[in-house]
């Protein structure tokens, strides 16, 4: 699956924990609060469960956009933006 994850998290400590969790699951930061990730469905569910532990539902927001291959092909990149590569074998 190809997923775009964006967040707006008020607390620095929670924000760092969310960013680290996304990196741990193979996410690549494409903007300060936006990650792109190739991930299996199983790991996607694990990632979501893990992120919930770090959030304050009253203050924070996280958005997950699952893009199909057709939709991903429609993405436009401007400026210095570069597409992320589909990973090879990755053991977590």
| Tally of domains within the chain | 1
Please report whether residue 80 resides in a domain.
no
Q: pLDDT class for 83, splitting at 50, 70, 90?
A: confident
Is pLDDT above 60 for 85?
Answer: yes
Taking the C-alpha atoms of residue 34 and residue 32, their distance in angstroms, rounded to an integer, is 6
Residue 54, domain extent: 2-73
Is pLDDT above 60 for 89?
Answer: no
CATH code, 11: 3.30.70.240
Taking the C-alpha atoms of residue 25 and residue 40, their distance in angstroms, rounded to an integer, is 10
Strand ranges for the chain from DSSP E: 2-8, 28-31, 34-38, 61-67
Q: pLDDT class for 88, splitting at 50, 70, 90?
A: low
Binding site annotation covers 8?
yes
Is pLDDT above 60 for 73?
Answer: yes
Q: Confirm if 77 and 83 have CB atoms less than 8 A apart.
A: yes
Taking the C-alpha atoms of residue 31 and residue 6, their distance in angstroms, rounded to an integer, is 9
């Amino acid at each position: 699956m190809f997923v775009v994850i964006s967040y707006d998290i008020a607390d620095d400590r929670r924000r760092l924990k969310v960013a680290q969790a996304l990196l741990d699951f193979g996410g690549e930061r494409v903007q300060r609060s936006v990650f792109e990730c190739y991930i299996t469905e199983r790991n996607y569910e694990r990632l979501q469960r893990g992120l919930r532990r770090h959030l304050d539902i009253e203050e924070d927001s996280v958005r997950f956009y699952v893009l199909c291959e057709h939709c991903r092909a429609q993405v436009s990149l401007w400026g210095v933006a570069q597409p992320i590569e589909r990973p090879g074998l990755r053991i977590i």
